Structure formats: C-alpha cells, structure tokens
Chain A
Amino acid sequence: MAEVTLVIRGGSVVTPEGLRRLDLALGDGTVLDLGEAIPGPPGATVLDAAGCLIGPGLVDLHTHLRQPGREEAETVESGARAAALGGYTAVVAMPNTEPAIDSAGVARDVLALGRDTVAEVAVAGAITVGRAGKALAPIGELAALGVRIFTDDGAGVQDGALMRRALDYAKGVGVTLAQHCEDECLSVGGAMHEGCWSSRLGLPGIPAAAEESMVARDIQLVRLTGAPVHFLHLSTAGSVQLVRDAKAEGLPVTAEAAPHHMLLTHAEVAGYDPVFKVNPPLRSDGDVAAVIAGLCDGTIDAIATDHAPHAPETKDAPFDQAPPGMLGLQTALPIAWQVLSPLLGPEQIFALMSTRPSAIAGLGVTDSRIAGHSAHGGPLDVGATGNLCVFDPSATTVVDPTRLASRSRNTPYAGRTFTGAVRHTVLRGEPVVIDAVAQR
C-alpha cells in the first residue's frame, strides 16, 4: 500500500446511502483507507474534521475566469483559489474571454494556466466564432483537446437554424451544447426582471418570456435532432416547468441553477446597487420557489455558480450601464446548505454540487473522462481519487468582500452570514485549503 500522507479525522463521510462516521487516509492522490479510527503515521498531515461532513470535491459547471482579456477582474489562478476556498476541486471555465475560447490556441492557453492551480480547470468552448452567433466554431478541433461542453454563454444563439446545425454537428462529435437562454429581441435594453419592481423603479425590464421562449425553442430542437442540450442558469418558473416536461418525455436535456436564483429576488434592486445586477436577472418569489422545487425533484441537475467577477470601478457605473454578474464560488455551498438542507439530505446536496455536475462536465469516474483530469464527484471508496470537500455545518460564513480570494468584490452577500462553512479542501490528495486558508 502506498504511504499515507493525509489523514482526515472525526468527520462523517457523505455516501449515497447517507452519512457514515469515518476517518479517511489518503496517499499518492487516492483514498487508501476508511475506518472509524485511523492513526496518523509520523510525517502525515492530520486534518481535524470533528462535526464536519466529508463529501466529494465540488464541481462548478459555470465559472468565469476572465483570462485572457480581463485579468484585472480575475485570473485563472485567483479564480481557482476562490473555487478551492468554496470547496471546489474542479471548475469549467466559460469561453466569453477576450479573445473567446473559440480556437484550439486559446483553449490550450487556458488549460495551461490551469495546469497547476489549486482547483482543476476544464474549459468550455464557444459554439460560434467570436460568440457572434453567425458561424460555427471549430468544435471538432476543440473536442480533440478534451473540451466537452460548448456554449456562447453571455449570450444565447439567436438564430434557430444555426443552433439546429450546431446541434446536429455536436451530436456527431459527441459533445454537449449548453445554452444561455435569452431572446435578445425581448430582452433588449433590460437591466432587471420585468415586473412590479422594474415598473416602480423605472428600469427597463427583461421579461421571463425572453428566457422561456429560447428554452422552448431548444427543447423543440432537441426533439428534432436528438442531440443533448444543457440549460445554463435557469431562473424562471416557466423554464423549470418546460424542462420538467421535457425530461418526462425522455428528452436528453440537463439543467443548472445558480445559488443567487435560489435566494435573492428582484426586490434587492430597490436601492439601485449594481451588485444585484445579473443576467438572467433576479426574479420574483414565485420563480425562486420554482427553482428550489426544481432542484429538489431532479428537474434541475446541478447547482452552478455563474461566478462572474467584475472590477470594482465597472460596478460603480449607473445601474443600467453596469455589467451584469456576481461572484459566487466562495458562497455557493453555504447558500445551498442554508436553502436546501431543510429539504434534502447531505448526499442529495453533494449530488447537486459535485456528482451530477462532474458527470455532465466529463470529469466523473468513468472511462470517458477528459484526459489530463482526475476523477471528481465521488463515490468516496477505497481507491477513489482524493478530491474532497470538508464542510462544517455548524460554523458560520461571514461574507466580507475585502477578504475574498477573487480579484473582484462584487458579491451580493456583503455583510451577510450563512450557517455552514467550508473547512478543508483536498485536491488529488493534497490539502489545498486547511481551516479556510488557501495553502498556495
């Protein structure tokens, strides 16, 4: 047996059957042993996990790392550190960088930047060149580099014919297209959800129909082509229902939702603080309830942060001119815990944040995993890769924007407190976060 370099003591392992009070021993990047009381050999690091849950490291399907092009807001390295502090062992970087990840060269650059970071970085490619929605990007060439997910995120593909063609092509290559559902004709000029608050505040609104009409269209295209589609950041009750019906029909669709759409509503915009400006926007109480219900009944497969850093001066602009987006990596699990632990067990929450996103991203324990990446998402048996998240449900997370790992400060939760905090994160057997402090 390989040498034990890391022991995690006193915690409860999250298994598909429930919690089991077990210590873990890791070495050589894998889980070597699980037992009730594992001694720590001299030279091994021992992490105290008393009262904590030990689950598979979280996987984020939707992170904006801003490099190349917007390094003042975030870099691959700083974003990965924020991810690790949030309990993530892998993230999928969105392609709306400058230049976009629409060529093998840019994809290679980003993957290289993420080679040695404290969270693994996989990359999503653009569907169209420059994300302009006109011509297909070299999907096959990018797939050969290991890219599994393609999206024009930041925008949706407006042209139905082009989207159909892209789906047919993607099906042949064996990759998944992910859609940012927004009909730009309906959303034009909008700065927040169209509803009673936008009317009161005098801000142009984005109606729920702008998202739902594209969800409906793409479901039609899935039916037509048989290609799978992953729906990014669902935010409306209507969208959730459309996906629910599509899944009932057996169509190959998956979906994600962001923590802010589980918690915040358009009422937050009352003070015109651009930190609450996001796309899709914060919606109504009914939409938040529907998103939560969708997460509980399997309609929504994963929680994805849509971590979107913006340099502080850009968020100081008037509300309608400020860029949309919020930070999310370091607050995702505490929020998910706060909202969902009264409704779901820990194994279900970790499924939403680790196992299922890992499978969708191609990072799970299967033969078809992306080359160059370790296995994420559990299960935490002997022999599993040591990608772990240790979460203390009785600690508190106090959100202080000046003390986040991100280069940006645009968190909507400044000053708020959540019950539950990430304590340790282990990446391929290396403890990269110990007692909420990043080790490098």
Chain B
Amino acid sequence: MAERERSHTRPLGGVFVAHSQLLSAADVQRALTRMAHEIVERNGGIEDVVLVGLQTGGIPLANRMAEALSQIENAEVAVGSLDVAFYRDDIGLRPVLPEAVTNIPGDLAGKVVVLVDDVLFTGRTIRAALNALNDFGRARAVQLAVMIDRGHRELPIRPDYVGKNLPTNREEMIDVGDDGVWIGTLEDK
C-alpha cells in the first residue's frame, strides 16, 4: 500500500471502495515472475540477495517473490520484514500497527538488499526504509521492487523493478491484494 493509503487503512478511519480492476490475479503473478527474472539477471544469480518486504503491503509480495526466485534458481533466498512506522518524516500519519514487526535475517553487510513493496507513491516510505536499513549493517547495494508505480514522487527515488506503471490522480487509491490490483477511493466509515 502506498503512503497516503496507509494513513487511512485499517485500523483507522476510512474504507477502500473499489471502482475498477486494473490487473487480475494472473497479471500480478506474471509480473512477479518477470521481476524475479530481472532480479536474477541484474544480480547474476541470487547469491547474497536478501529480500526485505515493507510492512504491511510488501510482505506477501516479498514471500511470493522469494518463491518465484527459488523456482528459477533452485535455491532459497532469505526474506525479512521491515516496519518503518517510527522512521517516517511524517510521523503520526502512518498508523502504528503492533503486528508489523521488523525481522532482518542476519547482518546485511555485503548483501544486496531488494526492498519489496506493493505501491510506490511519494517515495517517503522508501526513504524511511533506507534510513532503517542503515541500522542493520552496510549493504553492498539496495534495490527496489514494486508491483505498482503510481507516480507523484516527492523525493528522488526510483524503482529498479516495476510490475506496472499506472498514472493516477492523487485522490485515487490503489489496492494490491490476492485477487489482483484495484483502483478506487477512500470513503468515510
């Protein structure tokens, strides 16, 4: 989920009302597979690659990405999770979710970290994630994989791997779920 969406998602105010489906579940799977191949190609294999999913929308994608990678390379890739609630520069806009844990496998020194998130929007979540990663060792490189890039960047952040580029209006909302990608609006509860 992108930044502004998170500020309105459960457990706080607002309900996502879908207007139309942009990608089917099958489209998402194909995109995941393609991105997995791109990761392997770019990094010459998955040795030293660590996937880190951003709480909460990036976690299921990171797990599915890890599965796709292991099928391609026939090897396991480490997956971790990162909660950036207390690192964001717009503290308080992002809901604090106690179940959103940070769990980084081992020391990241010398690793290639691939951050995985569902929607890239202003870029502030990613910037906070880069900040947070600093505390876990000096990675050799950090790359970014997102399912949807919806534009409206406020910081010089760009993704390395994109499922789909989708221009949107600021007021619209993107939801990435098991059943595909939907666009809609946020209504009051």
> Are A and B in contact, CB atoms below 8 Å, in the complex?
no
B residues near A (Cβ < 8 Å) are none
A residues near B (Cβ < 8 Å) are none
